[in-house]
Amino acid sequence: QSLDDYEVRYSFIEKHVLVVIRSLKKFKHLISNNKVQLLVSHAGVKDFLLNKDLNEKRAGWITCVMEYDIEIKVIKM
């Protein structure tokens, strides 16, 4: 899926988090009610999702992630 005009201006980390959010929504029928291990290649993604400083966008994304039983792990590439 391509980025909307406003999404193009997202930071590097926000774009990666957006991929996570879109993936969760796309595969909701497969992953809901299951424990999910989310492997990310950048620690900033995990930090973004666990950070308590909320703005409207971040709050919405975190709410989406909280719908699932997710363990976030950073992998080294």
Q: What is the pLDDT of residues 10-44, one digit of tens each?
A: 999 999 999 999 999 999 999 999 999 999 988 98
Domain count, the chain: 1
Mean pLDDT of 44-51: 86
Q: Which domain holds residue 70?
A: 7-74
Determine, yes or no, domain membership for 2.
no
Determine, yes or no, domain membership for 65.
yes
Question: Taking a C-beta distance cutoff of 8 angstroms, is the pair 68, 29 a contact?
Answer: no
Model pTM score? 0.82
Residue 7 CB: number of other CB atoms within 10 A?
12
Share of the chain above pLDDT 70, in %: 100
* CA count, 13 A, side-chain hemisphere, 3: 14
Determine, yes or no, domain membership for 31.
yes
* 36, burial (CB in 10 Å: exposed 0-12, middle 13-18, buried 19+): middle
Determine, yes or no, domain membership for 15.
yes
